[in-house]
A and B are shown apart, each in its own frame.
Chain A
Amino acid sequence: MMRFTTLIKNPADWMTGEGADSSIVLTSRIRLARNVKGQPFPGWAKKDERRTTLDLLRPAVEALPCMKDAFSQELDDLTSVQKQVLVERHLISREHAARGEGSAAVIERRQSIALMLNEEDHLRMQAIRPGMSLRAAYDSLAAVDEDLEQTLEIAFDHELGYLTTCPTNLGTGLRASSMLHLPALVLSDQIGQVLQAVNKIGLAVRGLYGEGTESLGNLFQISNQSTLGESEETILRRLERVIAQVATHERNARDKLLEDDPEMVSDKIGRAYGVLRHAWIIDSKEALNHLSLLRLGGDLGFLPQETVKSCDALLMDIQPAHLQLHSGRKLTPEERDQIRAEIVRSRLQTLEAPDIRSTRKKNGNDPDPEIL
């Protein structure tokens, strides 16, 4: 069985984003909610009933082909920092971390498939992939689902579909979502309009950090709300179409910003670089917002393309529990801000200053940027 330190030591496959274009759509995630027949739902079950369900589920889950040598732990056996690290990595939910006895997490070695046992439902399964790949994520999780159906009796009704604790998940029990980086739509004040349009067709949008459209780091999550009355295929197809449209809007907004207001863009990216390279104390909010701009700089050619990936890794690593894990002790908020700044500085140590001149030339009328 894989240990916590081994699991966390390496970044997840979907974080390094190998081979996928994650410049706008960072990740795609699928979640399925399932319950076994004849057992009360976790929130209503008594302690011993939760235990019975867990004893029923865990062997079936651990026997899955993808869970060979997986990480498998009862939440009670993890420290609060360890649980928080899993939450920050999106491997378990905040609600799951708060649950005590009889709950467990089983996570595939590469962290691309994670199963929560006795969360709000008996089983909450998720698959994450880098870039725009909802379909691939769904396929991998559907295979897990089918495997489990061979050994577990899943609660299902022909009218209501998969029976879930909360009626908002009935039917397919499917929640599909993508995380998008939309700095140009935010800078050009178009974000409100775009998000309203997305909301209007019944999809949910929320900032990944912070509330509403005031999203920190310009990161947004778009997901389906309705789970009953439409097939998985229909849900995925609509979501893919809308996400592709939002990504196109962002791409156009980036091009337009560069064309209309190169001074402003250069200034923002330059300042972000300056702060991140030289700050000694930095809180989450400031770090997230500057990393967002640095990431944009990487995509627009002000900085090397790899900057995008470095920023994504940093987004994960500068979160409070990750910082505590990194330093191996409990930290005061002041200490956290110092260690955060230290990590950011050391990661960006070799990053050269943004190449404002060449980018602007390249974006101007110069037919051959190679001459520079």
Chain B
Amino acid sequence: MDCDICGKKAKVHLTQLVGGQIKKIALCDDCAKEKGVTDPTGFALAEMLLGKTPGKMVAPVPPVVQGVGRRCPECGFSLDDLRRIRRFGCATCYATFKEEVNQMLRGMHKGSKHCGKVPAGLMELHERTQRLEELRGRLDQAITSENYEEAAGLRDEIRQIETKAPARTTELP
């Protein structure tokens, strides 16, 4: 294996857990010495070597995926703007630039899925949406398999849920 920095033959192999992800680095003797890898008091080597400075959390430059001129339909924010200011224009941007968001989030936080408080009323709404989706799927299946009795039952259940108006709609489009 070659050194990740200069490409010479690697002598030092380093494995470290960074933010729940295993990072492996191979270094030659010279680079290892230069980066202080042989120093037992060194810490967070992977972060240091991978150029991530602990203590300073700066959003990484989002990668170019495709269509640099793409704009958010809600606020007009473009991919160029995102690359320039590394912040978003509005809440809808997160859906518009989903791909870029996923790449930016890599390694930034302890996880990639929200875990914690949900705004009041939203949990019920979320469950309701999921339940409706499930029922509609089963309804389609029932119709395809010409099981009309079950389909009628499902249709009624869907109607019942739909007529109970949701408290509010605060979902991403």
Contact = CB atoms under 8 A, between A and B. Distances in A.
Interface in A148-177: 149-150, 153-163, 165-168, 170-172, 174
Given A153-B168, A154-B170, A200-B43, A159 B55 contact: no
Contacts of B74: 40
Contact of B120 (A38, A146, A171): A146
Interface stretch (B4-12, B21-29, B111-119, B134-142): B111-119
Contacts of B36: none
Contacts of A4: none
Contacts of A142: 117
B153 to A, nearest CB: 29
Given A167-B101, A226-B110, A37 B86 contact: no
B14 interface: no
Contacts of B109: 170-171, 226-229
A41 B110 contact: no
B88 A200 contact: no
Contacts of A11: none
Interface string B98-124: 000100110011111111111111100
B57 interface: yes
Contacts of B91: 35, 37-38, 41, 155, 157, 163
Interface string B51-81: 0001111110000000000000011010001
Contacts of B112: 159, 228-229
Contacts of B122: 156
Contacts of A120: 87
Contacts of B19: 202, 226
B104 A167 contact: yes
Given A154-B119, A158-B126, A229 B111 contact: yes
A205 interface: yes
B172 interface: yes
A196 B119 contact: no
B22 to A, nearest CB: 16
Most buried by A among B56, B74, B113: B113
The bracket for how many chain A residues form the interface is 35 or more
Contacts of B88: 41, 44, 163, 165-167
Contact of A228 (B55, B111, B168): B111
A43 B119 contact: no
B144 to A, nearest CB: 29
Interface string B134-171: 00000000000000000000000000000000001011
22 contacts: A40-B77, A41-B87, A41-B88, A43-B87, A44-B75, A157-B94, A158-B126, A160-B101, A163-B88, A166-B88, A167-B105, A170-B105, A170-B109, A171-B109, A172-B117, A226-B108, A226-B110, A228-B110, A228-B114, A229-B109, A229-B114, A231-B116
Given A44-B75, A155-B91, A158-B118, 19 more contacts: A41-B90, A43-B87, A149-B119, A157-B172, A158-B126, A163-B91, A165-B88, A167-B88, A168-B58, A170-B109, A172-B116, A174-B116, A199-B43, A199-B44, A199-B54, A199-B55, A202-B54, A206-B55, A227-B109
Interface of A: 35, 37-41, 43-44, 120, 142, 145-146, 149-150, 153-163, 165-168, 170-172, 174, 196-197, 199-200, 202, 204-206, 225-234
Interface of B: 19, 43-44, 54-59, 74-75, 77, 81, 85-91, 94, 101, 104-105, 108-122, 126, 168, 170-172
